[in-house]
Amino acid sequence: MLLIIANQLFSQNCNCNITIPLSQSVVDANNYNIQPGDTICFEAGNREFIKIANFHGDSINQIVFINCQGSVIVKNNAYPFGIFVSNCSYFKITGSGSDSVQYGFKILETKAYTNGLSIGEKSTNFEIDHFEIANTGFAGIIAKSDPLCDLSTNFGHFTQYQTIIHDNYLHNIGGEGMYIGHSFYSGYSTVCDSISDTLYPHEIKGLRIYNNYLENCHWDGIQVGCATEDCEIYGNKIINYGSDLYNSQNSGIQIGGGTTGKCFNNFIANGSGNGISVFGLGNNLIFNNIILNAGRNYFPSDPSKKTYGIFCDDRTTISGSPFNFINNTIINPKTDGIRFYSLLSNNNKFYNNIIINPGSFGNYSSLNQSYIYLNPGVNASLSNNYFDLDMHNLNFIDTLNYNFKLTEFSPAKDAGIDVSNMGIVFDFDFYPRPYSNAFDIGAYEYYPGNLVKHEIINSNEIIISPNPNKGFFQLRFISDILNEDCKIVISNQLGEIIFHKDFNSDETQSIDISKITKSGIYFIILHSENYHSIKKLIIQ
């Protein structure tokens, strides 16, 4: 009786409908009366593994799995996973359950060739956040359902929808940091009932991978495949990727076969392979990324082993669709800044990119080919790119500390072409573009120091609550940082204004966004005569 009472009090303290004790590793919905919107808590402490199976929320109410009163720590060298999610839908696993820890779920070791967090067996419509994953035998996070001979998980029979992965820390990963979607969009050869067959993997529609930090991944940092619709990869930091030097599995970000969408505002540095590899369908927009030292540590004395800041070819290109590379900053790639092989695509654009010190400089008949190398026959337009061998000529703020923001006297300032018609209306820090009358070149837009008063993404002085949300939020200041009136503007990623009103810093504003039906990232921009700031708003 005392144990039951203690467990009930524990659940109430964490707002739980059910609490899973340390002694329990398998959590199956068939053993509970769980409803959409319920919260399932995991008692903090050490576990060998966790398996979650057969839970189904709905499109309005997720089932939430959360840590309670500390970190849930998973570590083993015997089981085929750290945490495995099977046949679940409309759920969220979040490590945000304790204010005292940043990552409430920690998967700190798995055995050789096994993954940290595995999500599969027809799981769909889910969100993963605030995990720390380390020392895995293979991938840190893997999310896909492999094709089967019975076709139940294959193309046309199953689709993985609304996959959201954000604010996680992955390090010392034995394979890919994140392995999202199948690698063989064009077909997977196998044997079914003793007969050779080709199976086609399921699609992913509605993918968001953002604000993750990945360090020391032995293979790719982030690999995405079969994301055929509504895919965005942004705001991630990827350091020291591809440490196994395994060719074709050592990109910072691999936009794999069958993938379209946007890849933007990522910082990718010091890996052995391409900063970004693009094997997608087309209609891929790659912008505002910073790529540093791509492949410089990949057999540095052997120029025949080539790596690039960005590489793109025709593995799954839809004929006539474009690839667009806009406002990227690429510094010190081992071979070329951008190498582009796609002949099936059309109307490709290379605008406003900064490319510095490509290792292949002088190897081609045209010196500019080292900066952007186009295969003969490529249909493309190049405009307002900045090429140089010496990064100091750009007048960056602090190259020693990887601060590639522009100073007032940078030749990239006001030298770009207007790309707002492509939906590029903000820079690497999510400041609006342009600041003045002309766009700047590279990932950053120049802003005078007196206007950049606060850290944009993580400002503690501007509170948006709740964020993410679905209907209403409150905007308030916790200190008087304006002393003046200003305006609030909410815009979408195309720069379209969907809300605006006057605002004073001593007020708390309740803002109705219930009419915004499309989930995604939006921007709250605060303007006054002497102040400018922007914060992200996530609408689910």
Average pLDDT of span 480-497: 61
- Give the Cα-Cα-Cα angle 261, 240, 297 (nearest 5 degrees): 110
Q: Is 486 helix (H, G, I), strand (E, B) or coil?
A: strand
Q: What is the pLDDT confidence band of residue 47, given thresholds at 50, 70 and 90? A: very high
Average pLDDT of span 304-313: 97
Structure tokens that stand for 255 in this block? 């936009």
CA 513 – CA 184 distance, rounded (Å): 40
Residue 430 pLDDT: 87
pTM for this prediction: 0.86
Residue 505 pLDDT: 54
Q: Closest Cα to residue 448, out of 405, 485, 401?
A: 405
In DSSP terms, 504 is beta-bridged to 485
Q: 1-5, 152-156, 325-329, 526-530 — which is least confidently predicted?
A: 1-5
Domains, the chain, in order of start with CATH, read: 463-539 (2.60.40.1930)
Specify whether the CB–CB gap between 373 and 338 falls below 8 A: yes
**Strand extents, DSSP E, 303-351:** 310-312, 323-326, 329-331, 338-340, 348-351
Q: What number of residues does the chain have?
A: 540
CA 186 – CA 518 distance, rounded (Å): 30
Percentage with pLDDT > 90 across the chain: 77
Specify whether the CB–CB gap between 42 and 65 falls below 8 A: yes
Backbone angles phi, psi at 121, to 5 degrees: 50, 55
CA 308 – CA 277 distance, rounded (Å): 9
% helix, strand, coil for the chain, step of 5:
5, 45, 50
CA 68 – CA 44 distance, rounded (Å): 6
**Strand extents, DSSP E, 18-77:** 18-20, 26-28, 39-47, 50-53, 63-75
Specify whether the CB–CB gap between 443 and 328 falls below 8 A: yes
Q: Is 263 helix (H, G, I), strand (E, B) or coil?
A: strand
Residue 135 pLDDT: 98
Mean pLDDT (the chain, rounded): 89
Residue 122 has pLDDT above 60, yes or no: yes
**Strand extents, DSSP E, 332-434:** 338-340, 348-351, 354-356, 372-374, 380-383, 386-388, 396-398, 403-406
Residue 531 has pLDDT above 70, yes or no: no
CA 525 – CA 532 distance, rounded (Å): 7
CA 500 – CA 487 distance, rounded (Å): 7
Structure tokens that stand for 158 in this block? 């199953």
Q: Is 379 buried (19+), middle (13-18) or exposed (0-12) by CB count in 10 A?
A: middle
CA 205 – CA 229 distance, rounded (Å): 5
For 2, the enclosing helix (H) or strand (E) is helix 2-13
In DSSP terms, 79 is beta-bridged to none
Average pLDDT of span 513-531: 66
Distance of CA 61 to the CA centre of its chain: 24
